[in-house]
Amino acid sequence: ETGVTQTPRHLVMGMTNKKSLKCEQHLGHNAMYWYKQSAKKPLELMFVYSLEERVENNSVPSRFSPECPNSSHLFLHLHTLQPEDSALYLCASSQEGAGSYEQYFGPGTRLTVT
Amino acid sequence: AQSVSQHNHHVILSEAASLELGCNYSYGGTVNLFWYVQYPGQHLQLLLKYFSGDPLVKGIKGFEAEFIKSKFSFNLRKPSVQWSDTAEYFCAVRRYRTGRRALTFGSGTRLQVQP
């Protein structure tokens, strides 16, 4: 285990549903990330939060809405998704300023949009 | 835009064969370099990383990688693979001293080791 947990591990939702993905890190890190992993494509950065402030938004459609209420928790709120949004969504955390910047990843949420 | 290229998408080796996976990046400035591995059904985990100093870095499970600045490369190597090395391997790059904190990943190389 990496100290980064994600729930749920699997999610099937219709295009009109609203759901949320949750990420929690137990490492005391100050930065958290959402990535999207699709088949045969590189991991795509979606959002970066540093000290609970969104510092990067990688041109993600507005149907994805992140929330970072504190440094340990990160959410990804989903609404009116499209079938092409089906993918593995990965959360990661790191300690900025410590010189390492190594990112620790959670197990991911496998999302299927029907 | 910065990109990371992994030349081999799928590699099949027999046990005890030597492994080299290629990784090239396009950014000309100072970078931090990483190799991550994703075993079947498991999360991404760090194999090794390069920040500065000796360009030959050693990681877990007998893996090593060499940073060649003139070639913008960071190839992963292992002298003798095992069946348990079957996994997907990702190269990642972080620009040093910029506002961009996140990593840029390559598309991954799937390694299949046959017993």
Residue environment code for A27-62, b if the CB has 16+ CB neighbours within 10 A, otherwise e: eebbbbbbbbbeeeebbbbbbbbbebeeebeeebee
B24 touches B4 (CB < 8 A): yes
CB pair distance less than 8 Å for A42 and B94 = no
∠ Cα A102 B72 B110 (to 5°): 65
- pLDDT tens string, chain B, 115 residues long: the values are 558 999 889 999 999 999 999 999 998 778 889 999 999 888 899 999 998 899 999 999 999 999 999 999 999 999 999 999 999 999 999 876 555 567 889 999 999 999 8
Of B43, B49, B105, the CB nearest to A43: B105
Q: How far apart are CA A90 and CA A85, in angstroms?
A: 13
CA torsion sign, A85 to A87 to A92 to A97? negative
Instruction: Provide CB contacts within 8 A for A28, sequence distance 6+.
Output: A95
Which chain A residue lies closest to B9 (C-alpha atoms)?
Answer: A40
* Residue A21, both tokens: 């993905």
- Nearest-Å Rg of the Cα atoms of chain B is 14
Q: Would you call A85 helix, strand, or coil by DSSP?
A: helix
B107 touches A40 (CB < 8 A): yes
CB-based contact, B43 to chain A, within 8 Å: yes
What's the pLDDT at A42? 82
Which one of B103, B104, B107 would you mutate to disrupt binding with A, by most A Cβ within 10 Å of its Cβ? B103
CB-based contact, B94 to chain A, within 8 Å: yes
Residues of A with CB under 8 A from a CB of B: 2, 4, 31, 33, 40-43, 45, 48, 50, 55-56, 90, 92, 94, 96, 99-108
Q: Would you call B79 helix, strand, or coil by DSSP?
A: coil
Which one of A5, A33, A43 would you mutate to disrupt binding with B, by most B Cβ within 10 Å of its Cβ? A43
pLDDT digits (tens, 9 = 90+) for A60-111: 999 999 999 998 999 999 999 999 999 999 999 998 876 667 899 999 999 9
CA A54 to chain centre: 13
Q: How far apart are CA B49 and CA A103, in angstroms?
A: 11
